[in-house]
Amino acid sequence: MNIALVAHDKKKPDMINFTLAYTHILKQHNLFATGTTGTKINEATNMDLHLFQSGPLGGDQQIGAMIAKNEMDLVLFFRDPLTSQPHEPDIMALMRLCDVYQVPLATNLGGAEILIRALEKGFFQWREILKENDNQKGTKK
C-alpha cells in the first residue's frame, strides 16, 4: 500500500517516534512524505521514502494529486491545530480529497495508531478492490 507521512513542524517529533515504533509495519509498504518530514524520518529509521516538496512549497498538493488518481491508500498527517499555517488551504484540500476518494486519514497520534494496527491486520483490502475496479473501468473506456 502507498502511505503518505506528513507532519507540521511541532508534530515532527511525534511522527518520528511513531515511525520508529512502527518501522516493522511501515517498511512493508511504499512510503511517501513531504520534504522535511521525510528527511527526518529517513535519518531516524533508515527507511526508504519518496520525498515530495515541503508542504508549504507544494508537497501537500503532490500527495493530493496521488489521492485524486487513486494512487494513495493511507494518509497520516500529524497536524498542529494550535499554530497558524500559511498553506492552510492546501491542508484543507488534502483532507477533502481523502474524504472524496475514501482514503483513510489520521491527523493525530491516536488515530494513526488505530490505522497502523488495522493495516497490520490487513483491514484495508477494500482499497485494492477499489483500485481493481478503477483499472477495469479504465480499460472499458
| Whether pTM exceeds 0.75 | yes
Pairwise pLDDT comparison (137 vs 39), residue with the higher score: 39
Within a 10 A sphere around the Cβ of 129, how many other Cβ atoms?
A: 9
Query: How far is it, in rounded angstroms, from Cα 130 to Cα 9?
Result: 33
Cell of 71: 494512487
Question: Are 98 and 47 in the same domain?
Answer: yes
- Same-domain check for residues 95 and 122: no
Residue 56 structural domain: 43-69+87-103
92 shares its domain with 123: no
Q: What is the mean pLDDT of residues 18-28?
A: 97
Q: pLDDT exceeding 70 applies to what percent of the chain?
A: 97
Q: Is residue 32 part of a domain?
A: no
> Given this model, what pLDDT does residue 128 score?
77
Instruction: Please indicate, yes or no, if residue 81 is contained in any of the structural domains.
Output: no
Q: What angle do CA 47, 48, 54 make, to 5 degrees?
A: 105
Give the confidence band of 22 by pLDDT, cuts at 50, 70, 90: very high
What is the tally of structural domains in the chain?
Answer: 2
Instruction: For 62-118, write each residue's pLDDT tens digit.
Output: 999 999 999 999 999 999 999 988 888 889 999 999 999 999 999 999 999 999 999
> Are 47 and 97 found together in one domain?
yes
Task: Give yes or no: residues 129 and 117 share one domain.
Answer: yes
Do 110 and 130 belong to one domain? Answer: yes
Catalytically active residues are 60
